[in-house]
Amino acid sequence: MYTTFCFFFFAFTFFFSVFAFLVFILRLRPCCDCDVCRSYLSGSWKMEFDNLSDWYTHLLRKSPSRTIHVHVLGNIITANPENVEYMLKTRFDNYPKGKPFSAILGDLLGRGIFNVDGDSWKFQRKMASLELGSVSIRTFAFEIVTSEIKSRLIPLMSSIAGRSEAILDLQDVLRRFSFDNICRFSFGLDPGCLQLSLPMSEFAEAFDLASKLSAERAMTASPLIWKMKRLLNIGSERKLKEAIKMVDELAQELIKQRRTAGFSTQRDLLSRFMCSVSDDQYLRDIVISFLLAGRDTVASALTSFFWLLSQHPEVVSAIREESDRIMGQTEEQASFEQMREMHYLQASVYESMRLFPPIQFDSKFSQQDDVLPDGTFVLKGTRKAWGPDCLEFKPERWLKNGEFMAENPFKYPVFQAGPRVCLGKEMAVVQMKSVALALVRRFDIQDAVPSRAQRFAPGLTATVRGGFQVRVHERRQHQ
């Protein structure tokens, strides 16, 4: 009986998957025989490019309008600043996140700010703007970062530097660092992932798995597949449900404890939001969204930053010279005021994110037919994404007479732009600069596999497949 049930169950699953794939094919835009669509469907682009974003960048550079079409997906991809401004600002209401995006992340993020549109987004945006814009919360965030660098990151790197043949996965270290920081900032919880023994908390593992499996939903041939798996509670959807359950349990316990102990004197984000929100499930959704945004994006940006530095020793030297001039050679950590004077460091951080944005694709769905400034017709329901359009790493492009000059945000939408511009932008940049400065001044970090190109694993953020293996050496003046 059990064997018969299993046979019919798996047969049903197989034929349903085939059916869903056929439905997906039939739902594609009218059959297209253009080079781009043929290359996408056949996968031939993989012969020349390591990542989908690299191929898109290549196509965008060849396009006179800096806009391309992937007809079989119903996608328009643009790197035209006028189009980006039109979508993110001028016609903001016509280009929401959209229901397809919200469905993919709905189980993990719920009604959090990064997964909603309309009034719910406006309410959370206003509340978050008031909190994240205050001097006290920025001071709190900076204190956490400097504490984590001094008490955990530097000791860990020093312990590795003392081993002659030791190889370290820097991406893993940076993810642990970011997770400790964002948990302390968001919940007032210290998971201790960056302790010398490099433990991994159950919460971190569950959160990582939930993020990974949620992102994989977007790669299925049809949303019908993951929705049916969720209905039947099988495969990846069963694992996702279990991971989210663990995240929920911890979040709910923290909220319960905070309400019991009192939250008015606490400095973390959860306690601050408790003053305005009484719905505990809504609180969970809000804080988990900030946890997702603050953890993976910073770790991704720092990983690419140090990979680029390993290829460009002249940039490392320039950062050290600038910091020595402002801080002196013996001072351990820079103050907030000192970092504001380091224009070349700021330029280097921004340049690395121009080449390797932490979020490589940011989709919007057109609610109504529209025409972009470059004349591109956008059919209702079309999705749009954009990426970098230049491959050279030159921090100097951000400097004018030695001072950092910000670029048009619609040309550089790494932190979004318009009404949805990232509220945590300044705190994220300060965190990146703090880590970059602390490690560059104290250590020589070398790519252990210098000939290997960066290949990104599918996910919500740009995570390097296989990690970033490095060798670490402590500089003489710090030994």
Binding-site annotation: residue ranges for heme: 422
Helix (H) or strand (E) holding 280: helix 280-311
- Determine phi and psi for 252, rounding to 5 degrees: -65, -40
**Whether the Cβ atoms of residue 433 and residue 336 lie closer than 8 Å to each other:** no
Annotated binding site: 422
Amino acid identity for residue 328 in this structure: G
Q: How far apart (Å, rounded) are the C-alpha atoms in residues 459 and 218?
A: 9
Crossing angle, helix 235-261 and helix 202-216, to 10 degrees?
Answer: 130
Q: How far apart (Å, rounded) are the C-alpha atoms in residues 212 and 91?
A: 32
**Whether the Cβ atoms of residue 217 and residue 101 lie closer than 8 Å to each other:** no
Q: Of 328, 352, 473, nearest to 412 (Cα)?
A: 352
10 Å CB burial of residue 301 (0-12, 13-18, 19+) is buried
Name 446's bridge partners: 471
Crossing angle, helix 223-232 and helix 2-27, to 10 degrees?
Answer: 160
**Whether the Cβ atoms of residue 369 and residue 377 lie closer than 8 Å to each other:** yes
Q: How many CA atoms lie within 13 A of 389 on its CB side?
A: 20
Amino acid identity for residue 232 in this structure: L
Q: What is the largest CA-CA distance in the chain?
A: 79
Retrieve residue 370's tokens: 């529209």
